[in-house]
Structure 1
Amino acid sequence: MENLLLIFEAPALGVQLVVEGILLGAIFALAAYGMALVWGVMNIINIVQGEWVILGGFVALGVSQAGAPELLGIPAAAVVLFAIGWLCYRLVIFRIVDRDLFTSILATFGLSILLQQLMNELFGSDVRTLDPGLGTWFMMGGMVSISQVKVLGFVLAGVIAVALTLFMRNSRMGQAIRATAQDARAARILGIDTDRVYAFTYGLNAAICGAAGALVVMAFTIHPYQGLIYTVRSFTIVVVAGLGNLPGVIASAFGLGVAEQFAGFTLGAEYQNAFVFLLLVAILISRNMLLQRQRKYLK
């Protein structure tokens, strides 16, 4: 309660939390949109989503350690993760397409454990971060600070969202992805290679997560076993926003980011991740109750 009262006594503190939440939510939105894409097109709940984010962060670290500019790690992570995601589809994911959701959860959960162990062996278990060499802006007499790398993440999230929207609307592959998502069987009859579409979709999801991971390692920290919280955040956002709803994903991501910041401040940083899990449980219960009411009404 003392921390909550402090927000009312110092409005600048509330502004700081809101700004941090929105900037954080932009990064969440990237990973969540990738999950919504895979779920909507391939009917797969991708539990390995968070591991793609963390792996993107390690790729960005490797690019920096090789002597390249730190910001080059963002496109490099996207390209490398696209290739790994495409390969992962060809080796594993194609086997669970058209299966039930429970099978996809088990398979991708196994992949997440495998990636965690591989990252631990290759990169070590230490908490890592990357300084991009950007500064900080101060507002309201120095009471509010805005990290420039987080603003960069916000801008890049917007650019990627616009680029993905244009790609889905105007490119042949984007139109094929939309057709496959609507009716995969009809798409096959019309001559669309749905296996190629699925491979590209999964690779695109991994690339988006890779770019998000490069931003995460510059703005926060990463370690090999940190992926689960990003998976839960992505799942929470998609459940709230729904599939194929990019504006809803963005709005839900901003809301989650702000709520998480306020929860971390009022309850303590050690309970911030627990708040995300509890929020997911509450959302799932409320959605289930809403579905039950709709069924009773239809009867």
Structure 2
Amino acid sequence: MDAFQILVDAPVLSVQLLLDGLLIGAIFALAAYGMALVWGVMNIINIAQGEFVMLGGYVAFFLYQAGFHPLLGVPVAAVVLFVLGWLLYHSIIYRVVDKDLFISILATFGLSILLQQLANELFGADVRTAEAGFGSLFLLDGLVVVPHIKLVAFAAALVVGGLLLVFLRKSRLGQAIRATAQNARAARIMGVNTDQVYAATFGLNAAICGAAGALVAMTWIVHPYLGLPYTVRAFMIVILAGLGNVLGVLFSGIGLGVAENFAGFIMGAELQAAFIFSLLVVILVWRRFWLSRERRYLK
């Protein structure tokens, strides 16, 4: 109740929380773009999604340590994670494509633990950050502060979403990905190499997550156990938006960012993670109820 009273007494604080949530949600949407792509094309729920974000953050941090501006980590992390995603597909993921969805969850969960523990062994458990040095924007007589890096992250989410739409609609590989998502067997009959499409899709997913991770390292922190909350967030966003809905993913990510920001202020930072997992349960129950209604209607 005290937190609610503070928001009532100081409306400018609500403006701060709203703007932070909008800009933070864009980074959540970046991680969800790739999950929606992999789920829609390969019918795989990638539990290692957050670990790709974490590794992208480390790429930006080590570039920063080497004397480069961490913003360079966005394209570099995308390239590095694309290669890693492509290698992981050809070594692990190809074995679970066309298998039961639960098998893919188990396989990527194991991959998540492997990447998490490798990062812990190689980089240590210390919390790291890459200082972008962009400064902040001050609004409402300095009462509202918006770091420029969050504006950069928001713009990056819009640009990546737009490029992804153009890529899927205009490029030959994008058209092959869409065809494979609609009917993989028919695509193979028409001459599409679906194995290459799956490898490119998983690599593209990892690249998008890597770019998101570089922005996370500049905006907040990075550590080996960063991944799970981003996996959960991406999963929630895709459930809400639906597969193949890029704009829906963006708006769902922004909505989640706003809700999480207000919940963290009202409930306290120690309960913010609990709010995320509770919201996931609510969304899954709601989604199941909605789908059961649709099935009854079709009958």
Fold equivalence (TM over 0.5): yes
5+ long unaligned stretches in structure 1: none
Match of 2:138, SS state, is strand
Match of 1:125, SS state, is coil
TM-score normalised by the chain length of structure 1? 0.98
- Cα deviation, 1:148-167, whole Å, max 9, x if unaligned, reads 01111111111111111111
Residue 94 of structure 1: aligned partner? 94
Distance in 1 (alpha carbons) for counterparts of 2:203 and 2:211: 12
Residue 28 of structure 1: aligned partner? 28
Distance in 2 (alpha carbons) for counterparts of 1:57 and 1:179: 33
Residue 174 of structure 2: aligned partner? 174
Q: Supply the AA of the counterpart residue of 2:20.
A: E
Distance in 2 (alpha carbons) for counterparts of 1:285 and 1:69: 44
Residue 108 of structure 1: aligned partner? 108
- Contact kept in structure 2, 1:63 and 1:76, CA below 8 Å: no
5+ long unaligned stretches in structure 2: none
Residue 229 of structure 2: aligned partner? 229
Match of 1:129, SS state, is coil
1:183 and 2:183 aligned: yes
- Contact kept in structure 1, 2:70 and 2:214, CA below 8 Å: no
Identity of aligned residues (%): 63
TM-score normalised by the chain length of structure 2? 0.98
Q: Which runs of structure 2 are paired with 1:122-141 in the superposition (5 Å)?
A: 122-141=122-141
Deviates more, 1:183-192 or 1:5-14: 5-14
Distance in 2 (alpha carbons) for counterparts of 1:235 and 1:101: 14
The ranges of structure 1 where at least 4 consecutive aligned residues each deviate by more than 6 angstroms after the TM superposition are none
Q: Supply the AA of the counterpart residue of 2:238.
A: V
Match of 2:146, SS state, is strand
Residue 264 of structure 1: aligned partner? 264
Residue 144 of structure 2: aligned partner? 144
- Contact kept in structure 2, 1:45 and 1:101, CA below 8 Å: yes
Number of equivalent positions:
299
Distance in 1 (alpha carbons) for counterparts of 2:216 and 2:292: 39
- Cα deviation, 1:186-205, whole Å, max 9, x if unaligned, reads 00000000000000000000
Residue 84 of structure 1: aligned partner? 84
Superposition CA RMSD, Å: 0.9
- Cα deviation, 1:4-23, whole Å, max 9, x if unaligned, reads 12112211101101100010
Residue 157 of structure 2: aligned partner? 157
- Contact kept in structure 2, 1:23 and 1:153, CA below 8 Å: yes
Q: Which runs of structure 2 are paired with 1:278-289 in the superposition (5 Å)?
A: 278-289=278-289
